[in-house]
Every structure is written in C-alpha cells, then in structure tokens.
Structure 1
C-alpha cells in the first residue's frame, strides 16, 4: 500500500505552507504488530520530512519530525509493513492530540478517550437539544 496518496501529499504540503499554528493531523500511520503510531499534519518540501505526533509504544508520545522514507522502508515479520489508517479523520488540532496522548501515554489510548468524549457529548446534545 502506498502510505501517502498524491492527494494526501498535496494536503500535507499545503498545511506545511499554511501560517496556521495548530494544524490538524491528516494521516495516521501504524505498526499492525505493535502500538507504534504516527499522526502527521505536515509534509516538508523535501517530500520526506513529516511533522506530527510520534508514539513508538514506550509511553511517551512526542511532537516532532520523522522520515516518511524510513517508515516506508520498515519491514515487519510475516511480510507486514507500516500501514495507513484509511478511516482516520479528525477535526481536532494536533495540540489536543498531543495533550491527550501524553496524559494517556499513548496515541491509541488517547484516540479511545477522545472518541468516548465525542460520543458522550453527542448523546447529551441529542438528549438536551438547544431550545429556541
């Protein structure tokens, strides 16, 4: 699987060029055999350097840069490779992901907590719609 489609590359480049300070992650990459997960919000002009949140599964997710080529070159047991989560989408900025992931000590755990919070907020909003 190609980790980044031409459309994703263009969107990541556009966010890199944007003056916005808190961009949302557009791509989630993961190791199917471990907790290693990367959320990328930007791709530098070199076509290799991604910026985002990296979690190698040791309990300390960090903001920074990582190499797309290095991630693509990883060969895992059983012929597996790093994959892209095709269903990943978020409206939350990278700072929220970083904060929750650091507190939860994992991007995967933060994703679960953020999903639960969103679902709870939706249920409350459905139960108590605004009067007007």
Structure 2
C-alpha cells in the first residue's frame, strides 16, 4: 500500500469515511453526490483525478481525466495509478493547493462539456 503516501492524512481519512457511508447503487437518483476530497495528478502528463471515496484496499471512486478529451466517472485502482512512473521516478501526487468548489456531478458535467477537468 505504498500509494497511501500520496494522500494527506486528512484526505485519506475523509475518503475512507465517504466510502463507509451507506449508499444506494452508484448512478441512481438516491446516490449521495459528494464534494471531491482531493485532486491527484501526474506531474509530467495531463492525467488528473478528483476522488470522493476510497476503500481500504485502494479502490477509489471519482472523476478521471487521462488527457484524451473524454473524462469519466468510475472506479480507480490506486495500485494501478501508483505503479506508473515518470521521469526521475516521479509518481502520482496530491495537489495540496486544490480545494473543491462543486459536487462531483457538477465537475463531471463541466468536464464532459469542456473535454477535460476544469478548475
């Protein structure tokens, strides 16, 4: 679970708490629309993730933008993201200066319209 080092303790705790919230099936009208807890990015590429929840085994949920013009909502494997290494051994990072201003569904709607996650 090396990927746990990507998150601040506060973000890791909130992601876990959101995951433990009892919710109906994803995509239904009763699903809770969380505000993203954190933004992850690859420092050398265009990939960005806004995460709202994460299980203990590193399965996160959020908005993914890999830089191809088609951001999407879904589950994300932190093992998979953390395994990607860039120049000089760089790995995925949490944007410590980012604060969510909208719910995840609002970010997703804006991202689909723009073809990328917009701040």
TM-score normalised by L of structure 2: 0.82
Q: 1:27 aligns with which of 9, 23, 38?
A: 38
Matched length: 108
Q: Distance in 1 between matches of 2:37 and 2:11?
A: 8
Structure with a larger share of its residues in helix: 1
Q: Distance in 1 between matches of 2:17 and 2:89?
A: 33
Q: Secondary structure at the match of 2:107?
A: helix
Runs of 4 or more consecutive aligned structure 1 residues displaced over 3 Å after TM superposition = none
Question: Shift in Å at residue 102 of structure 1?
Answer: 0.6
Q: Deviation per CA, 1:61-99, whole angstroms, max 9, x where unpaired?
A: 000001112212211123221111001111310000000
Q: Secondary structure at the match of 1:57?
A: coil
Deviates most, 55-64 or 71-80: 71-80
**Structure-1 residue corresponding to 2:114:** 104
Q: Distance in 1 between matches of 2:57 and 2:13?
A: 10
Question: Shift in Å at residue 17 of structure 1?
Answer: 2.3
Q: Secondary structure at the match of 1:32?
A: coil
Q: Distance in 2 between matches of 1:17 and 1:24?
A: 15
Q: Secondary structure at the match of 1:66?
A: strand
**Structure-2 residue corresponding to 1:13:** 16
* CA RMSD after TM alignment: 1.7
Q: Distance in 2 between matches of 1:87 and 1:27?
A: 10
Radius of gyration: which is bigger?
1
Which structure has more relative contact order (CA 8 Å, sep 6+)? It is 2
